[in-house]
Chain A
Amino acid sequence: MIAIEHLTRRFGDATAVDDISLVIPRRALCALIGPSGSGKSTTLRMINRLIEPSAGRVMFDGRDAATIPDLRLRIGYAIQSVGLFPHWTVARNIATVPALLGWPRARRDARVAELLALLELDPALARRYPHQLSGGQAQRVGVARALAAEPEALLMDEPFGALDPITRVGLQDELRRIHRRIGTTIVLVTHDMEEALRLADLIAVMRDGRILQAGAPADLLRAPVDDFVRDFVGGGEAGLRLLGLHAAGTLANPHVDADGDPVPAAATLREVLSALVARRADAVHVADADGRIIGAIRLHDIMNLAAQTDAS
């Protein structure tokens, strides 16, 4: 668990982060989101003390981060511009922190192989140099490097911001899969609300160095505290984004029939609605991962769900 307590950072006369507090539960994926200059990156860097707080503290499982030796060796760190070491091979880059921690060679090599597999990177890339990688590959290597020493937490500063949309969505899916598998607490800075909604189970909306609202994605969409949060989180698409939080499988009704190709159970209700509109249909089949039809979703099931969540 990471507890941010009254954290403040001043640069000269300017206050970049102004007395914020936030509790990030163990194994959570927390997104810090806000416009440029809202203090989200400064907050992230105070968690691993790349920036010293002017006031307040960060607690890791009840321990003040300022008193933890080798703090940064125990927290993974991945940034948008990746910052791979150009004079080292991919394997040596990934093994950076294990090498600093003095892991024996065999353990490091095994870990590199394991991470290449986890991030679905070709094992042959291990001997390449960073300039021989594509942007997406470099970012995967950056994430692998951040995860190498099995850190207690992973900090990511707009890790996918510089990638093209397709690569970005691919890596977001990958991150979600990895997070589910390894369960490390992740703090992610982003300005992309779709990214935050897709990945996070806790979102903190920041502006002018303060946290305006922190909560589960659905809570932010349903009950924004003010107009800024409403616009930032939902914009004109609050309803659609809310549907985006639910998987089709949860609403599939086995007693209903439909025409046409099924949608996968892992698709979001937002995608189901889109499919219904595109097909001008009232209902669509839902198929599980093996392609078996598990039921169908009707347009008014989606409307009912929206009504229920509004009431709750």
Chain B
Amino acid sequence: MRHSAGLFAAAALLVALLILLPHSGALFAAMFPSLQRPVFTQDSLAALALNHAALVLAAGAVSGVTGVAVAIAVTRRAGAAFRPVAETLVAMAQTVPPVAVLALAVPAIGFGPEPALIALALYGLLPIVQASLAGIDGVPAPVIEAASGLGFGPLRRLLSVELPLALPLILAGLRTSIAINVGTATIASAVGVRTLGTPIILGLNGNNTAYVLQGALPAALLAITLDAVFERLAAAARVR
């Protein structure tokens, strides 16, 4: 329960920030006296944050399902031959900058959340695949042998022995993936998705540091909050 305190503090601070920032004109006017419009009002920060979180979690779900499936496939006897190829491809997916994926995806499927989702899901795949592989590889050989010897079929062995034992590491991979993508998702605004990146990109274009701060601060707190959520999940899944 002691981790919950950090989670609640981060979440409370995030909510407070989302409510207070639009009403902090005086503060930002004092900090940046040269700006004519020191407060981002084109859109509700809370709506942007929700959208941002939804995009990141959706990408996390896609890369989570894909990543775990890839890890399972290449740790089966039939798929073992594909393991080096899969690991290389996944590593390459993270080498390609998400901006480049966006640039390539937009002409193909147009503006909107889809290209952003693809870019984020690809970018977040590596930590999940690596962690899932480590988790499945880490199941002790005698445990696997005992499971087979006692009559578990391959599917039952996977579901009731391998995956539960790998779960803490899989969740750790998901946590890393999500934390990375909260930051990366800000660039999704470049393809017209409303995220906390919207005030940041507007601010950068218009030389408005106040806008940048009003997007970056909630984004940072969102990352910390989601990280704390997954830390709790991982702790709950850990074997005693």
Contact = CB atoms under 8 A, between A and B. Distances in A.
A155 B140 CA distance: 21
A70 B240 contact: no
B84 interface: no
Interface stretch (A81-89, A113-121, A225-233, A244-252): A81-89
B146 A86 contact: no
A72 B142 contact: no
Interface string A70-100: 1111000101011111110000000011001
Interface residues of A, number: 24
A72 B145 CA distance: 12
A87 B160 CA distance: 10
A79 B149 contact: yes
A110 interface: no
Interface in B131-148: 140-148
B165 A100 contact: no
Contacts of A86: 140, 143, 165, 239
A48 B148 CA distance: 10
Contact of A87 (B142, B150, B239): B239
Q: Among the interface residues B142, B143, B146, which one has the most CB atoms of the partner chain A within 10 A?
A: B146
B146 A84 contact: yes
Given A87-B239, A129-B240, A145 B150 contact: yes
A73 B151 contact: yes
Contacts of A96: 150
Contacts of B111: none
Interface string B38-71: 0000000000000000000000000000000000
Interface of A: 48, 50, 70-73, 77, 79, 81-87, 96-97, 100, 129, 131, 142, 145-146, 155
Interface of B: 140-152, 156, 161, 164-165, 239-240
